[in-house]
Amino acid sequence: MEPAPGSGSGSAPGPWAATACVVTGASRGFGRSLARLLAPQLGPGSALLLLARSAEALAELAAELRAGNATGGDTGGAELRVQCVAADLGCQEGLRRAGAALRELLQDASFGRLLLVNNAGSLGDISKSFLDLTDLQDINAYFSFNISSALCLTSTALRAFGGRPGCSRTVVNISSLCALEPFPSWALYCSGKAAREMLFRVLALEEPGLRVLNYAPGPLDTDMQLLARTRTADPELRQKFQRLQEKGQLIECSVSAQKLLRLLQEDSFPSGAHVDFYDI
């Protein structure tokens, strides 16, 4: 298996050898930007599997990537297969459908590399304080989507791909500063991010042959950020987000996605590490 592009060579990275690449939450925002940047890195024989709830948005992205691939344009390597699965990962049926697609894709023994990006996530109810969070069904639904589905999908992918000699496996968890620091009125989001990051730190310890990265993309200019600055119950925190927007300090998804791509190309992070956008 070839080393990761950019590892110690100092030269411009070329396409990755036949790669099975999976991105969850790919229909919009950071996931969509990342998929656009990853596609040119996927060489002949590669496949890009896009997962999200919105079938229409996924189909539009897949068509864009296929068109670029066919013309040899922005999406790079020839022979890239782009597949999309519309599934709600927070429910059993959606998770079953996503898992089945993963197992079918990874039956292909020709892949020499697996890259799984766990990007799908939600903000939760930030209009309530800790003492207002009393609905068990809502709380369980939040953690099912934001924690349990990432665990199940990752386990499914790694088991389906297996420990192929000479092949590389990389798992990325899209994390947050909230995995490390508490934010008032963000109990669900902070605890979900912290728990999810710990899951992947455990994975890195259990599987030393695996590359695991927790990447915090920074305050992105997305629909989620709009919710943060309009619905956050804590007034001081809400005003902080408003100031970020007013001062033009929100980060474009494509800019943060480019930093993640560079991290993956250089492949020099300690497995299980938490790397923030501002660390790079």
Cα 65 to chain center, whole Å?
18
24 burial type by CB count under 10 A (0-12 exposed, 13-18 middle, 19+ buried): buried
| 44-61 pLDDT, tens digit each | 999 999 999 999 999 999
What is the H or E stretch that residue 23 is in? strand 19-24
| 210-248 pLDDT, tens digit each | 999 999 999 999 999 999 999 999 999 999 999 999 999
d(CA 81, CA 265): 21
What is the percent of the chain where pLDDT is above 90? 89
Is the model more confident about 204 or about 80?
A: 204
Assign 77 a pLDDT band (cuts: 50, 70, 90): very low
Q: Has residue 23 got a pLDDT over 90?
A: yes
SS3 of residue 75 by DSSP: coil
What average pLDDT does the segment 83-94 reach?
A: 96
Q: CA geometry: angle at 202 spanning 198 and 206, to 5°?
A: 170
Which CATH superfamily hosts domain 19-218+253-269? NAD(P)-binding Rossmann-like Domain (3.40.50.720)
Let me know: does 168 contact 214? Beta carbons within 8 Å.
no
Cβ atoms < 10 Å from Cβ of 73: 10
CB half-sphere exposure, 53, CA atoms < 13 A: 9
What radius of gyration, in Å, describes the C-alpha atoms of the chain? 18
Q: Has residue 69 got a pLDDT over 80?
A: no
What average pLDDT does the segment 8-34 reach?
A: 82
What's the pLDDT score for residue 16? 87
> What single-letter DSSP state applies at residue 223?
H
Q: Has residue 106 got a pLDDT over 70?
A: yes
Q: What is the mean pLDDT of the chain?
A: 92
Contacts of residue 134, Cβ cutoff 8 Å, sequence gap at least 6: none
What's the pLDDT score for residue 2? 35
